[in-house]
């Protein structure tokens, strides 16, 4: 019996076969099973999209129509800490345009036990947060006579972050060259090694040391431990997937970010495709709208066919079209036509837009089949 079912594995999707397997009555005979399988296959073939159907237009309409109902500028404040996340139409545009810099990058860091149970979660979260020198100091001053920079440390803040003077001195000496550093308990004094240091340079250095990285992951500006279901996770604003995945205690298999380009870089195109689908679908669902995932899948697939994310813009997928007329009909027509004329580009009129422009039948639906005659 299993043999008969497995014959259909190439023809039917996995889900249908699993459903049939689970719901078969006991002791069914071969002939009846064959009938069931054939019937299922027939139904499945019927449900498939026909060849030549213009799925792209249908997807565009299906996403676009509910999209008009989305409020233009929706901001959502999640929870008590008021972490700001871009949602709604701006977010969808951001994803589909394939923007590299997104407005509000956030990460969801999943943790391994014991942190996921809530042990030391605050300390753990703080160790991920990026700490700069300016955050643990009360004062930067320049003594004009000796052209030295004095950095006054905030002892209380340092205590809460578990930092010592040596930690700070070490990070400064690593990231700032050409200065001798003296640790004076309350003060850290930086003196330039250059003999005749212009005061101007000292001023510049003073601004520079404010940004010195002391601890944590670069780019993570805010952390917030929250309880989701049965485990604690850390939400962050700011994102740095590759660094966070390497921290001990982070569950590197379930930690995600909302920056699809970062996902592409660290986890690959396939993961990026999956992330696009999930992000877009979540936004649409959050707004209480109902769009079939298949439409979003199609869009995500087009964005990822080339092995890297291309936005739906004139620089992205549209620039990859082979037809000059199709490219010109989207945006910046004159640029495309002039360039095509300069290099003598050919247009084979294989697609839709160019044929519409020339008042010819378009290769869609019944326009696909062509008459072929045999040469004699």
Partner 1 sequence: MKKKFTVDKHILIPKHTKLGDKHKEKLLEKYNISITGLPRILKTDPGIKSLGAKPGDIIKITRKSQTSSEAVFYRVVVDV
Count the residues of the shown chain that bind partner 1, applying the rule CB under 8 A. 32
Q: d(Cα 20, Cα 41) in Å, to the nearest integer? A: 11
Q: Are 360 and 349 in contact (CB under 8 A)?
A: yes
128 contacts partner 1 (rule: CB under 8 A): no
256 contacts partner 1 (rule: CB under 8 A): yes
Binds partner 1 by CB under 8 A, chosen from 18, 61, 285, 320: 18
14 contacts partner 1 (rule: CB under 8 A): yes
Binds partner 1 by CB under 8 A, chosen from 134, 165, 222, 252: 252
* Cβ within 8 Å of residue 344, ≥6 positions away: none
What are residue 161's DSSP bridge partners? none
Q: Across the beta sheet with 137-143, what order do the strands follow?
A: 137-143, 148-153, 187-192, 179-184
Contact string 312-341 vs partner 1 (x = CB under 8 A) = ------------------------------
Q: Are 4 and 34 in contact (CB under 8 A)?
A: yes
28 contacts partner 1 (rule: CB under 8 A): no
The pair phi, psi for residue 255, each rounded to 5°, is -80, 130
> Under rule CB under 8 A, which residues in 264-293 are in contact with partner 1?
265-271, 274-275, 293
Q: Which residue has the tokens 């008459």?
A: 371
* Cβ within 8 Å of residue 243, ≥6 positions away: 217, 218, 219
Q: Residues of 346-362 as b/e, b for ≥16 C-beta within 10 angstroms? A: ebebebbbbbeeeeeeb
Q: Are 234 and 125 in contact (CB under 8 A)?
A: yes
CB atoms within 10 A of CB 172: 19
Using the rule CB under 8 A, give the single segment among 14-22, 65-73, 312-320, 332-340 that binds partner 1. Answer: 14-22
Q: d(Cα 297, Cα 303) in Å, to the nearest integer? A: 10
93 contacts partner 1 (rule: CB under 8 A): no
Binds partner 1 by CB under 8 A, chosen from 294, 315, 358, 369: 294
Q: Are 191 and 209 in contact (CB under 8 A)?
A: no
Q: Provide, rounded to whole angstroms, the least separation between the CB of residue 25 and partner 1.
A: 22
Which of 265, 345 has the CB closer to partner 1?
265
40 contacts partner 1 (rule: CB under 8 A): no
Q: Provide, rounded to whole angstroms, the least separation between the CB of residue 16 and partner 1.
A: 8
Q: Provide, rounded to whole angstroms, the least separation between the CB of residue 247 and partner 1.
A: 7
304 contacts partner 1 (rule: CB under 8 A): yes
Q: Are 206 and 140 in contact (CB under 8 A)?
A: yes
Q: Provide, rounded to whole angstroms, the least separation between the CB of residue 13 and partner 1.
A: 4
Binds partner 1 by CB under 8 A, chosen from 79, 288, 307, 344: 307
Q: Are 98 and 310 in contact (CB under 8 A)?
A: yes
Torsion of CA 269, 275, 277, 282, to 10 degrees: -170
Using the rule CB under 8 A, give the single segment among 156-164, 258-266, 338-346, 350-358 that binds partner 1. Answer: 258-266
Which pair of tokens denotes residue 1? 């019996």
60 contacts partner 1 (rule: CB under 8 A): no
Q: Provide, rounded to whole angstroms, the least separation between the CB of residue 203 and partner 1.
A: 36
Contact string 218-247 vs partner 1 (x = CB under 8 A) = ---------------------------xxx
Q: d(Cα 132, Cα 128) in Å, to the nearest integer? A: 12
Q: Provide, rounded to whole angstroms, the least separation between the CB of residue 48 and partner 1.
A: 12
Interacting residues toward partner 1 by CB under 8 A: 13-16, 18, 245-248, 252-254, 256, 263, 265-271, 274-275, 293-294, 297, 301, 304-308
């Amino acid at each position: 019996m299993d043999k008969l079912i497995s014959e259909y594995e190439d023809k039917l999707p996995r889900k249908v076969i699993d459903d049939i397997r689970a719901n078969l009555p006991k002791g069914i005979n071969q002939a009846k099973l064959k009938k069931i399988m054939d019937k299922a296959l027939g139904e499945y073939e019927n449900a498939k999209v026909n060849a030549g159907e213009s799925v792209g237009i249908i997807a565009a309409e299906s996403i676009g129509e509910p999209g008009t109902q989305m409020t233009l500028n929706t901001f959502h404040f999640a929870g008590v800490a008021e972490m700001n996340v871009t949602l709604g139409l701006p977010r969808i545009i951001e994803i589909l345009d394939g923007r590299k810099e997104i407005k509000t990058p956030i990460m969801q860091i999943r943790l391994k036990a014991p942190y996921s149970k809530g042990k030391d979660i605050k300390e753990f979260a703080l160790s991920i947060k990026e700490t700069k020198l300016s955050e643990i100091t009360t004062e930067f001053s320049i003594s004009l006579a000796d052209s030295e920079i004095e950095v006054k440390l905030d002892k209380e803040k340092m205590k809460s972050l578990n930092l010592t003077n040596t930690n700070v001195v070490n990070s400064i000496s690593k990231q700032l060259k050409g200065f001798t550093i003296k640790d004076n308990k309350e003060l850290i004094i930086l003196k330039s090694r250059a003999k005749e240091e212009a005061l101007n340079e000292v001023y510049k250095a003073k601004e520079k040391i404010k940004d010195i990285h002391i601890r944590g992951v670069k780019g993570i500006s805010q952390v917030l431990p929250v309880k989701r279901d049965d485990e604690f996770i850390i939400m962050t604003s700011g994102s740095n997937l590759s660094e966070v995945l390497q921290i001990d205690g982070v569950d590197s298999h379930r930690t995600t970010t909302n920056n699809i380009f970062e996902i592409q870089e660290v986890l690959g195109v396939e993961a990026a495709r999956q992330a696009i689908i999930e992000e877009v679908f979540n936004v649409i669902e959050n707004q209480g709208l109902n769009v079939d995932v298949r439409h979003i899948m199609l869009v995500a697939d087009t964005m990822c066919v080339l092995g890297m994310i291309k936005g739906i813009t004139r620089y992205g997928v549209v620039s990859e079209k082979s037809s000059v007329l199709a490219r010109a009909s989207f945006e910046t027509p004159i640029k495309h036509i002039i360039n095509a004329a300069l290099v003598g580009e050919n247009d084979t009129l294989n697609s839709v837009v160019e044929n519409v422009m020339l008042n010819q039948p378009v290769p869609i639906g019944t326009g696909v089949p062509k008459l072929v005659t045999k040469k004699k």
